[in-house]
């Protein structure tokens, strides 16, 4: 990822600071951005946070030069988008010291101390009454002072304006500028500082003691990225398209998809499907032939995306595909008859269900764990019609309730595949 990031930057398609990884704790399974994270376990998230920045940043000239800058986000206690009448721009996370230290802080501490990330993003929400981007205890005291973070802190996009207009933590634009910059935030992803900082400097409120520390933090990272050195003095400026989508990188994408797939149920001999004499196969479901869905959110332009149908067509040529539902919402059962008839005629059935970005995404939480619309009914009808127990595949970032399918003897196998990316169909 770091190599391709720098190559894209060299070719004029990207910057050099990449706002990843998201290491927030997936505490509520309905959270719309849980798909971006490593789950609810602080230890797992911390291990990821310790390794991801090194992978992006390290190279032949590390630590003098960064290949690209990695930014851990969203600090801190951020795991709500819009739920129960409260949105992330107004949310005040009330968290005990014990829960902060045992649950929410470990990934960011690992990011700073082990991963040596050069960036951290402060979050939209407040923590115990103080907006994250205006919290000196969170930023300068703990992140920089206690954990030794040496990099820049950016706001999430619009979070500085939230300090003033949503949290109403400050009463004036000058006070907002001073609070965020002296708390330890360096860069505003938004328009607030751009619109108000010059006036704060002109009236003398934002003097050198306010603006110089964040400028220093920002320039230090720019220096480490080689922005003030000759191209000939560093190896990363030479990276180009020959370093993008290489056979090795494509193989890694496939391996990641394979390792990410989880077998939840396998009764009898449902899986693996026989290789010696591949069966006639019905591939059904609203996401069976989807491609965008398989990439989750915040994806780049993949060179190809192999759907479940396309992947299974490489396994056996005798594949019949019917969606059964018009889309993931599965609002009605008008397509069920075709799916049921196709299931009856096949020797084996793979039914693909799950979620997409209309169900879970940034800015959008779910209210329950049920499969959307009539997907559960589709599972029941297809399973009843099939000759033998079917294989159920789930494409989703967050958990879904498949307890009825688990208890159904005609559902022989259940496979969770997440959002498996460009080689998802091949992996399955």
Q: Which residues are known to be catalytic?
A: 156
Structure tokens that stand for 90 in this block: 């107004």
Q: How far apart are CA 289 and CA 293, in angstroms?
A: 9
| E strands in 10-65 | 17-18
The SS3 assignment for 373 reads coil
Q: How large is the C-alpha radius of gyration of the chain?
A: 24
**Distance from C-alpha of 149 to C-alpha of 136, rounded to nearest angstrom:** 14
- Provide the 10 A C-beta neighbour count for residue 271: 17
Name beta bridge partners: 122: 75, 155
**Three-class secondary structure of residue 65 per DSSP:** coil
What is the DSSP code (8-state) at residue 410? T
Strand partners of residue 321:
283
Pairing relationship of beta strands 126-127 and 119-122 according to DSSP bridges:
unpaired
What 8-state DSSP symbol labels residue 108? Answer: H
* Of 304, 256, 225, 273, the residue nearest 64 (C-alpha): 225
Rounded Cα distance, 24 and 42, in Å: 9
Query: Which helix (H) or strand (E) element contains residue 427?
Result: helix 424-427
Task: Mark residue 224 as left, alpha or beta (left: phi above 0; alpha: psi -120 to 50; beta: remaining).
Answer: alpha
Q: Distance between CA atoms of 348 and 312, rounded to whole angstroms? A: 12
Token digits for 416? Answer: 């969770």
**Alpha carbon of 353 to those of 17, 28, 62, 250: distances in Å?**
36, 21, 44, 26
Answer for the pair 289, 424: CB distance below 8 angstroms, yes or no: no
Exposure string over 92-113, b if 16+ CB within 10 A, otherwise e: bbebeeeebeebbbbbbbbbbb
Looking only at the bridges linking them, the beta strands covering 281-284 and 319-322 are parallel
Reduced to 3 states (helix: H, G, I; strand: E, B; else coil), residue 413 is strand
Phi and psi angles of residue 313, each rounded to the nearest 5 degrees, phi first: -70, -20
Pair 183, 169: CB distance under 8 Å: no
């Amino acid at each position: 990822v770091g190599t391709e990031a720098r190559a894209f930057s060299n070719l004029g398609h990207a910057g050099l600071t990449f706002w990843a990884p998201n290491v927030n704790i997936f505490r509520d399974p309905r959270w719309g951005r849980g798909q971006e994270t490593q789950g609810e376990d602080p230890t797992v998230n911390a291990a990821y946070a310790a390794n991801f920045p090194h992978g992006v940043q390290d190279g032949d000239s590390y630590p003098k030069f960064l290949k690209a800058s990695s930014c851990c986000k969203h600090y801190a206690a951020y795991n709500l988008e819009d739920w129960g009448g409260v949105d992330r721009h107004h949310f005040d996370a009330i968290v005990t010291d014990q829960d902060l230290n045992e649950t929410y802080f470990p990934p960011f501490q690992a990011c700073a101390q082990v991963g040596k990330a050069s960036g951290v993003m402060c979050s939209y929400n407040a923590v115990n009454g103080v907006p994250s981007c205006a919290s000196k205890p969170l930023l300068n005291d703990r992140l920089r002072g206690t954990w030794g973070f040496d990099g820049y802190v950016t706001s999430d996009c619009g979070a500085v304006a939230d300090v003033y207009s949503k949290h109403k933590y400050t009463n004036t634009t000058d006070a907002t500028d001073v609070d965020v910059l002296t708390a330890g935030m360096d860069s505003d992803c938004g328009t607030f500082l751009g619109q108000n900082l010059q006036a704060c400097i002109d009236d003398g409120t934002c003097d050198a003691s306010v603006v110089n520390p964040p400028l220093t933090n920002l320039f230090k990272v720019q220096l480490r990225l080689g922005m003030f050195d000759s191209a000939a003095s560093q190896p990363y400026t030479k990276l180009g398209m020959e370093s993008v989508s290489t056979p090795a990188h494509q193989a890694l994408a496939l391996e990641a998809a394979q390792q990410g797939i989880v077998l939840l149920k396998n009764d009898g001999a449902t899986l693996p499907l026989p290789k010696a004499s591949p069966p006639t196969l019905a591939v059904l479901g609203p996401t069976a032939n989807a491609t965008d869905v398989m990439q989750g959110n915040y994806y780049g332009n993949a060179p190809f995306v192999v759907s479940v149908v396309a992947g299974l067509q490489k396994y056996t040529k005798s594949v019949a595909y019917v969606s059964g539902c018009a889309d993931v919402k599965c609002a009605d059962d008008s397509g069920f008859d075709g799916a049921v008839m196709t299931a009856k005629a096949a020797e084996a059935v793979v039914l693909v269900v799950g979620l997409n970005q209309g169900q879970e995404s940034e800015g959008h939480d779910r209210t329950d764990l049920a499969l959307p619309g009539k997907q559960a009914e589709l599972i029941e009808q297809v399973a009843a019609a099939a000759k033998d127990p079917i294989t159920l595949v789930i494409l989703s970032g967050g958990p879904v309730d498949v307890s009825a399918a688990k208890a159904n003897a005609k559902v022989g196998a259940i496979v969770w595949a997440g959002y498996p990316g460009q080689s998802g169909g091949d992996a399955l």
